A and B are shown apart, each in its own frame.
Chain A
Amino acid sequence: MDWFYIEGVLILAGINIIAVLGLSLLTGFTGLFSFGHAGFMAVGAYTCVYFGERLGLPFIAAVIAGGLSAGLVSLFIGRLTLKLKGDYFCIATLGFGEAIRLLLDNLQIFGGARGWPGIPPKVDLTTVVIFSLLGIIFLVFLINSRHGRAMIAVREEELAAKVMGIDVYRYKVISLFISAVYAGVAGGLLGYYLTFLQPKLFGLQKSTEYTIMVIFGGIGSISGSVLAAFFLTVLPEILRSFAVWRFVIYGAAVIFIMIARPQGLMGGKEITLKGITSILKKPGKNRAIRSGEV
Chain B
Amino acid sequence: MIQILQQLINGLSIGSVYALMAVGYSLVYSIMNFSNFAHGGVIMLGAYFGFFFVTLYKMPFWVAFFGAGICSMLVAVLVERVAYKPLRARNAPFLYFMISAMGASMFMENFVIATIGPTFRTYPQVFPPQPFNLRGIYVGRLDMVMFVISCISLVALVYFIEFTKMGKAIQATAFNPKASALMGINTDFVTIVVFALGGFLAGIAGVLFGMKYTVYPQIGSITIKSFIAAVFGGLGSLPGAVIGSFILGILETLVSGYMMSQYRDLISFSLLILILVFKPMGLMGKSSEEKA
Contacts and interface: CB of A to CB of B under 8 A. Distances in A.
Interface centre among A31, A246, A262 (most CB of B within 10 A): A262
Given A33-B95, A158-B292, A247-B106, A91 B35 contact: yes
A95 B228 contact: yes
A85 B95 CA distance: 12
A255 B94 contact: no
A208 B95 contact: no
B103 A95 contact: no
* Contact size range, B: 35 or more
A130 interface: no
A84 B99 contact: no
B63 interface: no
A245 B111 CA distance: 7
A253 B277 CA distance: 34
Contacts of A106: 262-263, 266
B266 A99 contact: yes
Interface in A131-176: 158-159, 162
A215 B100 CA distance: 11
Given A208-B102, A258-B103, A91 B262 contact: no
Interface stretch (B68-76, B180-188, B268-276): B268-276
Contacts of A212: 102-103
A123 interface: no
Interface residues of A, number: 45
B38 to A, nearest CB: 10
A94 B107 CA distance: 19
A254 B102 contact: yes
Contacts of B96: 258, 262
A248 B114 contact: yes
A292 interface: no
A87 B35 contact: yes
A244 B217 CA distance: 13
B113 interface: yes
A68 B230 CA distance: 34
B276 A81 contact: yes
B95 to A, nearest CB: 6
Interface of A: 31, 33, 77, 80-81, 83-88, 90-92, 94-96, 98-99, 102-103, 105-106, 158-159, 162, 204, 208, 211-212, 215, 244-248, 250-255, 258-259, 262
27 contacts: A33-B95, A81-B276, A84-B276, A85-B288, A86-B95, A87-B33, A87-B35, A87-B98, A88-B280, A90-B98, A94-B224, A95-B228, A95-B272, A95-B273, A95-B276, A98-B265, A106-B266, A212-B103, A244-B113, A247-B106, A248-B111, A251-B106, A255-B100, A258-B92, A258-B96, A258-B100, A258-B103
